Amino acid sequence: MKYIIVLGDGMADEPIDMLGGKTPLEYAATPTLDRLAPQSEIALVHTIPDGMAPGSDTANLAVLGYNPRTYYSGRSPLEALSIGVDMKPTDIALRTNIVTLSDEPDIPFEQRTIVDHSSGEISTADAAVLLEAVKKEFEKDTYHFYVGTSYRHLLIWEHGEVIDLAPPHDHLGEVIAPYLPEDAVLRDMMVRSYTILNDHPINVERARRGLNKANCLWFWGAGTRPALSSFREKTGKTGVMISAVDLLKGIAVGAGMDVIEVEGATGSLDTNYEGKAMAAVQALLDGADFAYIHVEAPDEMGHQGNVAHKVRSIAYLDERVIRVVVDALTNAGEDFRLLVMPDHPTPIRCRTHTNDSIPYLLYDSTKSMSNGVSAYNETQARMSGTQIERGYTLIDKLFADEF
């Protein structure tokens, strides 16, 4: 038996008027899921423990079977693992976004607004040039910058402290003054980064092309060195991670899973869906027990508030990932169990994460697991009357010998 999780990051949502009162998951064309649903268990699961922030960090830990209350030490330390940074016990890691702030003339820095948490999903190549420009000014024995992917980068603060820092995607369109760090050095680096980056040649060219400038550093997600237990020792399964996002790669590294890099995997709507799917299939056929396919696009489209693109990302997930995996394993004569789910909702309404329960679909190629629900979406999952409260236990159901 082979085991697969297909994770549509932020895929869950709320009813939207322009979709006729349907959610993007209800509205999107999902013929593969429609085919699997009558033979699948469909219900709700709560991935975010009460009192914890609804992030992809805590949620994906839970999906992989790690209780966030036990294993979570901050988002950025997990990303540090992916980048290959060997954190010391006294190090603090901070996510360093390169964001778009408004650039009206003659207003104080503190009165600018967050226009875009991802700088128009800037390329890694351009972002690396911009990060190098600020590194020349800021890097010293205490502070070390590392390039990540697209707008997502890393700062290691030696002998630092874990402080509260606001995620930029939670405050899109808002004046930044209330969300700037209290720490004077971090705050000064953000202020000075705007001066360095706003008129950088890359941003002058981006503005000319009608793209959002990548004009300011934004620090958040501080944490200490993580200590995850081995996924193989915990589950008895060998696993691979396929994702374009450093956070997911870092979780996999910490758990001792293999990370498979896929050419053209971008973490956005234009990602290489088929490449991810076939990388998972090949790993399973080559002997891996478990594959985790993470697709970031629905979450990014939710943050952007783009209804049409969120719908499209879900349709792509169905046609270009789930169908490819199901057909390939079926044609290879492999028995398999498939879990499809988001990690958390990212509703178009608020353009950020919420901690509401999410729908999951669990399919077994060898038998019907139907619990009477005939379609996979938020409404049908609620109608099942079933909810798993401790999200980190759902993977036990995926791997269970009997039901």
User: What is the chain's percent helix, strand, coil content, to nearest 5?
Assistant: 40, 20, 40
Question: Is-contact 64 395, C-beta < 8 A?
Answer: yes
The pTM of the full predicted model, rounded to 2 decimals, is 0.86
Q: Name the H helices within 109-267.
A: 124-138, 184-197, 201-208, 231-235, 246-255
The rounded Cα 221 to chain-centroid distance in angstroms is 13
Predicted local confidence at residue 141, as pLDDT: 86
Give the pLDDT score at 403.
57
Blockwise average pLDDT, block size 10, the chain, 403 residues: 98 98 98 98 97 94 97 91 90 96 95 96 96 93 93 95 93 96 96 97 97 98 92 97 95 96 95 98 98 97 97 98 98 98 97 96 97 96 96 97 70
- Cβ(225)–Cβ(89) under 8 Å? yes
CA distance 167 to 185: 18
Q: Closest by alpha carbon to 153, among 84, 57, 219?
A: 219
Smallest CA-to-CA distance from 53 within 258, 344, 259, 324 is with: 344
Q: What is the per-residue pLDDT for 86?
A: 85
> What does the pLDDT read at residue 401?
84
For residue 347, what pLDDT is reported?
Answer: 98
Question: Tokens 């999410």 label which residue?
Answer: 358
Q: Determine contact, residues 151/122, Cβ cutoff 8 Å.
A: yes
The pLDDT value recorded for residue 74 is: 87
The length of the chain, given as a count of residues: 403
Domains of the chain: 2-73+228-399 (3.40.720.10), 83-223 (no CATH)
d(CA 313, CA 298): 6
Q: Which two tokens stand for residue 158?
A: 């030696």
Q: How far apart are CA 244 and CA 236, in angstroms?
A: 26
Nearest by Cα to 148 from 81, 241, 54: 81
